[in-house]
Structure 1
């Protein structure tokens, strides 16, 4: 019986190891603007993406009131993207997508990327189809832009109801969550910030019937808001579960 419990524990760890990665996008507006994919266990630390996973990510995009621009990946580091033009004053949405991807685990605890249960030669014990979407809100200058409070069409999306450039420590702000263009009701929303406990969240709440929740920031820094939707598949011959995750990041100044 004890051995069985140990094995179940190992299986649980193996299953949850994939979802332990956070996915976010990051903008750093210094002398030379930098746009990055964050994919790791320690937000907001940027890490090199494993070469066999680079193809999972779509090119980053920047959306303004006028248009959407697709960025070009740098040669190094592989999480960095470049924009060969100057951005005007205003607020922008940097967005990224982790393409819908099958991850299947076999009886030997080996994971297969991009393959469903019926597509591997060994015995499959678990499969999840993961689809992750991320947004970062950043501003240049003091020009007000309403674009950041509007959806951009992600399947699962967190939308700030006011511009994050105006957020202040000690003053609550609201975000709305949409899933398939509809408010996601009574769903868990979590948030964390740089310097907080690794793998932990500083805020935990639920959306109301309008898909809205309110967050009180008690400290300045880089913030990440996250929501996740999991769906058990009725026909699990191909895969067991679909997972959609959305993150929203922004900076709160002192």
Structure 2
């Protein structure tokens, strides 16, 4: 593979404002001779936690949250509710919401099968229509645009689905198998022993194949770039990309893929319902 140039590029906060991401937080502990992992979901912009998944500022329905063992046997994990959050307490200074981030503990046993365990989250494909209603008020509705009766002007009409992954390793790392997500990031680097300065190589697949027309994916960390609203960019060539992680801490690699809906194109069944079909994928890991 030809060398992929990694560009450090500023992303201004105005461009991030509409780009919510879903990811998996997985923090391992080996205290007291055990091997435990605290797991939860993240949603928004900032690692490790930014917003609740059922926020009025933008919410997402988790269709599947799973742990796959080295043989790819699936175990369902707890999922958060999709019901719109309401404050449990409100005063003149703030509203207080219960944060259901699907937080749970995975406690491995001495008899646990060695190998790479995959954490996988898949959201429900959901319509997001932002529009100005007939009274001139801006609104956001989680319905297809043809189901909304009071639209004066459509500002955005998207069908969105997100995919997130993270990895846990017992014993030795081995190359993980694809999970068949519509948009998927698959590491080609051992993520269990990363240090600052290491190179992380990934494959990017869209419906199981290298995506056409995709130019770049991004990576950032709470310890690098995030507070100043910039990320590492990597060009995608034949479905391959790479980053050199710059610091210790939690990192996220994310990618998006958008397709226009046209009356005679492959997404013609969605014509009139959405203008764009958008997929997003994330991969989180920790650097020592």
Q: For the structure 1 residues 156 and 16, does the alpha-carbon distance in structure 2 shift closer, same or farther, using more than 3 Å as the test?
A: same
Q: Does 1:152 align with 2:179?
A: yes
Deviation by residue 1:203-224 (Cα, 9 ceiling, x = unmatched): 1021112x11121112111000
Question: In 2, distance between residues paired with 1:84 and 1:250?
Answer: 16
Gaps of 5+ in 2: 1-13, 82-97, 264-270
Where in structure 2 are the equivalents of 1:99-178 lying within 5 Å? 99-107=124-132, 108-113=137-142, 115-123=143-151, 125=154, 126-140=156-170, 143-146=171-174, 148=176, 150-178=177-205
* Alignment match of 2:280 (pick from 237, 245, 254): 245
Q: For the structure 1 residues 105 and 47, does the alpha-carbon distance in structure 2 shift closer, same or farther, using more than 3 Å as the test?
A: closer
Question: Mean Cα displacement is larger for which, 85-94 or 125-134?
Answer: 85-94
Gaps of 5+ in 1: 1-12
SS at match of 2:120: strand
SS at match of 1:33: strand
Question: In 1, distance between residues paired with 2:107 and 2:76?
Answer: 12
Q: For the structure 1 residues 201 and 176, does the alpha-carbon distance in structure 2 shift closer, same or farther, using more than 3 Å as the test?
A: farther
Question: In 1, distance between residues paired with 2:161 and 2:285?
Answer: 21
Where in structure 2 are the equivalents of 1:1-80 lying within 5 Å? 17=17, 19-30=18-29, 33-45=37-49, 47-50=51-54, 56-66=61-71, 67-73=73-79, 77-80=99-102
Q: For the structure 1 residues 84 and 35, does the alpha-carbon distance in structure 2 shift closer, same or farther, using more than 3 Å as the test?
A: closer
Question: 1 or 2 for the larger relative contact order (CA 8 Å, sep ≥6)?
Answer: 2
Look up the match of 2:93.
Answer: none
- In the TM superposition, what is the alpha-carbon distance from 1:83 to its structure 2 partner? 5.8
Q: For the structure 1 residues 245 and 55, does the alpha-carbon distance in structure 2 shift closer, same or farther, using more than 3 Å as the test?
A: closer
Question: In 1, distance between residues paired with 2:20 and 2:60?
Answer: 16
Aligned residues: 234
- In the TM superposition, what is the alpha-carbon distance from 1:182 to its structure 2 partner? 0.3
**Is the CA contact (8 Å cut-off) linking 1:59 and 1:72 kept in structure 2?**
no
SS at match of 1:238: coil
Question: Mean Cα displacement is larger for which, 168-177 or 240-249?
Answer: 168-177
- In the TM superposition, what is the alpha-carbon distance from 1:183 to its structure 2 partner? 1.2
Look up the match of 2:268.
Answer: none
Question: In 2, distance between residues paired with 1:199 and 1:178?
Answer: 29
SS at match of 2:254: strand
* Alignment match of 1:224 (pick from 231, 238, 252): 252
Q: For the structure 1 residues 131 and 73, does the alpha-carbon distance in structure 2 shift closer, same or farther, using more than 3 Å as the test?
A: closer
Look up the match of 2:88.
Answer: none
Question: Mean Cα displacement is larger for which, 174-183 or 51-60?
Answer: 51-60
Look up the match of 1:7.
Answer: none
